[in-house]
Structure 1
């Protein structure tokens, strides 16, 4: 492809650009190369017109991405629901394993896999399709090695949880469940790079269908294991592992079947080239996202130090479960806006990249407000779905207003992080997260919770303030960004990380 093939008139009408996008979103060719950058917006009419155009592009990606995120998150959430009907200790054990052991690993694996959001997204936007498969294989190699190292965390979970202050009963039960969940760790290693590879090509509908099938099977099999066969936590672990591996196997079969065109041309020794540099980018992505994923998971850990720990952990885990479900909307939008920003920067469309963010933030905020309103309306009814313990239900009802506020705030933050990933700002945002979350939010939460004796509500309030400050800082960074410069940096990044294949052609100025 020659450079002239990429160029389009910059002032195409919105309707024509919308039609061009619909074609590019379903094609195995470059996603955004056929589109032009949006013209400058000079009034309300221009804003509404462009908002409608961008909303169609965004929700074409975000709709299936949200459904995929909800389905995959619900695998663990359904496991917690069934655990709550076994016993309060079982619910606490599964919650601690999900929040501390699996949560720690989830953050690392998702973060390292998210390096592909930047690389695959920008390479796809620039039409460098052949590099996507190489990036995928490099990420697989790195994450499998990482999973081997993290498996030690699962094996020694019981003494580790006891060391950090969990009760003996919770530590023992959660540690046993952690050992059962080691297969899930290796499913993470293959799933997250595969998901980012497919997302960059807008093949999100396929992921949604696979995840939906896994969710239905998981719910049915978990019910059989707990209610009919009475296998307890062991049965829940088997079903959760099987569901994750179902997703991984079907996605890989889909890719190997030749459905991705030039993006997958088979296994290549080039996947082992430049591995250390790729590891550094993966680690930067991991640090950024880990600091976000672990932040609210730490709430469950801190609750384990309060009086009546089992009730506190169980109640807070239910709230975190619901917050996680609501956050899947924002995370789905995060994936969509990351694809849109990285593709548009790769195609040298800086104004479109910036406007994608505006549309995503507005849309995600409105959805968060709607979810919060429904939750407040049914605050007396929904706890019965999660536990039979009335003490736990009372605490959940008391925490519902804070949960509703968190949903609104947390629906914006992942969208901002999606822009950071799409633009390749992982290292900078990691420092922001350390300062806002762990130097400000955690100390404030611990002071309110323990020093001022406000309990779970105090811990949660302080840590939520850390999220607010982080969102303000990233918003300021976005407002100060030179998006034309970011587009040029995207070209340099594609050339740098492409290795030998990138020396063949350059599509952009």
Structure 2
């Protein structure tokens, strides 16, 4: 009969536990495994070893963070450049662009960007019934097909949110709401009219942010940089044409900004549909409509 330890476990169980822990890592070399076959860092015993590993970790970090930062700056610059071109119009039109860009579109941007493309409930369709997770967890668990499901589920939720945002916050009733907060009547009128022109941008947000989460989870960050850079150049050129030679004013700026954001969305979507995300995207799946309430609540 096996002896029992003070904690209630048998000595045999303790021995099995020790064997399992020792088997998970290489006890002779001091290097373990992270569970995916990739070895842990070797023990750091010198300043040179520390610096070498620090440089390697920084290289890996900036390989992902650098392009992500560039993408964020590039996409933020679309609105900033619009305001720069608005400076060539009247002061009233510049005030209207600033109000719409910073208040109305800014609110929509914050709500859409705060969405984390995650589902913390156990995913029954994931195969083993125990894999929870967001896009990054699905990728790490080698359940690539779930990335596409999470992407489509996020599109459904965010587009529904975009529809709700039309009357509730500021889009359809921007003018009276701005006046309620004591904004100048003329600025409120122009900003309210501009908000109606910018509704396509709202739905571009609903598609863009889930796509970005989808690509980041697979480290496809260079594709995001390339698409955003092309969209920025396109936006500068189109804004100049519509505001300068064509003299379309606020309408021209709205057209340019909407077109540029949809170029970002369609460019990234084309990258996915062309097969550069094998396994993660296998077409539209009805599974995306499952557990929408829990996903939306999260």
| TM-score w.r.t. length of structure 2 | 0.80
Match of 1:133 in 2: 148
Q: Give the conservation status (yes or no) of the 8 Å contact 2:150–2:288.
A: yes
Match of 2:208 in 1: 191
Residues 440-455 of structure 1 aligned to structure 2 (within 5 Å): none
Q: Give the conservation status (yes or no) of the 8 Å contact 2:145–2:279.
A: yes
Larger proportion of helix: 1
Q: Which of 127, 131, 136 is the equivalent residue of 1:121?
A: 136
The alignment covers a number of residue pairs equal to 258
Residues 116-195 of structure 1 aligned to structure 2 (within 5 Å): 119-152=134-167, 153-195=170-212
In structure 2, distance between residues paired with 1:229 and 1:61: 41
Residues 86-485 of structure 1 aligned to structure 2 (within 5 Å): 86-115=89-118, 119-152=134-167, 153-281=170-298
**Deviation (angstroms), 1:280:** 2.1
Q: Give the conservation status (yes or no) of the 8 Å contact 1:116–1:193.
A: no
Higher mean C-alpha deviation, range 244-253 or range 188-197:
244-253
Structure 1, unmatched stretches of 5+, are 1-6, 18-31, 282-509
In structure 2, distance between residues paired with 1:195 and 1:230: 34
* Deviation readout 1:183-237 (Å, 9 max, x if unpaired): 0000011111011100110001111111111111110110111111111111000
1:228 alignment partner, SS class: coil
**Deviation (angstroms), 1:123:** 1.7
Structure 2, unmatched stretches of 5+, are 1-23, 121-132
* Deviation readout 1:62-88 (Å, 9 max, x if unpaired): 222122112211111110100112122
In structure 1, distance between residues paired with 2:45 and 2:134: 33
Q: Give the conservation status (yes or no) of the 8 Å contact 1:132–1:264.
A: yes
* Deviation readout 1:67-111 (Å, 9 max, x if unpaired): 211221111111010011212222221111111111111111111
CA 105–133 in structure 1, closer or farther in 2 if over 3 Å, else same: same
In structure 2, distance between residues paired with 1:84 and 1:165: 24
Q: Give the conservation status (yes or no) of the 8 Å contact 1:80–1:94.
A: yes
2:224 alignment partner, SS class: helix
Q: Give the conservation status (yes or no) of the 8 Å contact 2:119–2:295.
A: no
Q: Give the conservation status (yes or no) of the 8 Å contact 2:175–2:189.
A: yes
Structure 1 segments (4+ residues) deviating >6 Å: none
Match of 1:345 in 2: none
In structure 2, distance between residues paired with 1:116 and 1:86: 46
Match of 1:48 in 2: 51
Query: Does 1:73 pair with 2:76?
Result: yes
CA 51–154 in structure 1, closer or farther in 2 if over 3 Å, else same: same
